[in-house]
Every structure is written in structure tokens, then in C-alpha cells.
Amino acid sequence: MVYRFLLLSDEADDFKREIQISSQATFFDFHKEILKATGYDANQMYSFFVCDDDWSKKTEITLIEMDTSSEEDCFIMDNTVLEDMLVEEHQKLLYVFDLLNERVFFIELREIITGKNLNDPVCSKSVGKAPEQFIDFDIAANDIISDLDENFYGDDAYDDEDLDGLDETTFDESSLSEKF
């Protein structure tokens, strides 16, 4: 069987990748094809999460073994076969490519193609540019600051006329208890 996945990003509206891969491939094979399709650095930490229909994380599949409690199952990309975790169309995954900032690709298993086999995964559709893998927060902060208008918080001058017509009221706790 062949799985056809669609990858989207909430950071780049025009980004779209479609990857076709054997259902018997591992998550590591899928990971390598994502890196190839995006041009991302392979020397970083990555994780997949199998999600429910609302994109809530359920099961994590990590690049390397992590210290977890013995009560939790630990899934490693290289040892976990796609068809063992994904059994129906429209299942959802998150692919975390920036762990520190929790930046992800949203992945959906769009189609399970029976009667067809693939030896190697293939990126069958590539639209738009992938979001930058790393965010330079200094540049981003400077861009935001330079976009702010000098009068962002209003005039520096205080004018008594701005307060005309405002009533001075005092807080009365008894009026609260009557309402509630």
C-alpha cells in the first residue's frame, strides 16, 4: 500500500507538500523525505505526534530514544512502521521541526492507495517555499518595533478636558451582592 500525505504550515499560506510513501516504511523514512522536500537541516531534533481529529497530541514518535517513565510507550522513528500507527485515511499528524518554539507542519493522511507499491518515498507535489526552519528573534523583534508608530500609546500630553463628563463614582460592595 502507498500512503499519500499532505503537509501544510500555519506560517506560510502558500506552502504545500504532498509525499507518497510505502505504508511499510518507517517514520524515519518519512522524516528524511520531509527534510528533503523542505531543505531543512538534518542535525536537529524532530518529533511526530499522532493526533486526534482536533489536532490534540496523542502518541509521540521521537527521532532518538528519550528518557520517559516506564508507564509510557516509547516510539522511535527508526523502529516504528507507518502502518502500525496509521490505519485509516484522514488521520492527522504533527511534525515538530522546531522543538524550542513548537513550530510544526500539519500532516494529514489524505489517501491510502491499495494495490500499489513504492520502493522509495517521493515528494509528488511541491508548492510554495517552506517556512524558515529557525527564527531569528532579534530580527523579528526589530521588525515589529520599527513597524510601531511613535504615537502607538497615544499623546504624551495630558489634557484635563479629556476627563470632562466622567462621573466620580465610588465602589459599593452592597450593590454587587444584590446583583449576584
Show the domains of the chain with their CATH numbers.
Answer: 2-137 (3.10.290.30)
Half-sphere exposure of 131 (CA within 13 A, CB side): 18
Nearest-angstrom CA–CA distance, 45 and 62:
8
pLDDT at residue 99 in the model: 87
pLDDT at residue 86 in the model: 96
Q: What is the mean pLDDT of residues 33-57?
A: 95
Q: pLDDT category, 107, cuts 50, 70, 90?
A: very high
pLDDT at residue 116 in the model: 93
Q: Is the pLDDT of residue 80 over 50?
A: yes
Least trusted range by pLDDT, from 61-75, 124-138, 154-168: 154-168
Residue with the bigger pLDDT between 129 and 147: it is 129
118 contacts 2 by C-beta, under 8 angstroms: yes
Q: Is the pLDDT of residue 171 over 60?
A: no
Nearest-angstrom CA–CA distance, 9 and 167:
51
Q: What is the mean pLDDT of the chain?
A: 84
pLDDT at residue 84 in the model: 96
Q: Residue 102 corresponds to which cell in the numbers above?
A: 513548537
Q: What is the mean pLDDT of residues 147-173?
A: 55
pLDDT at residue 180 in the model: 45
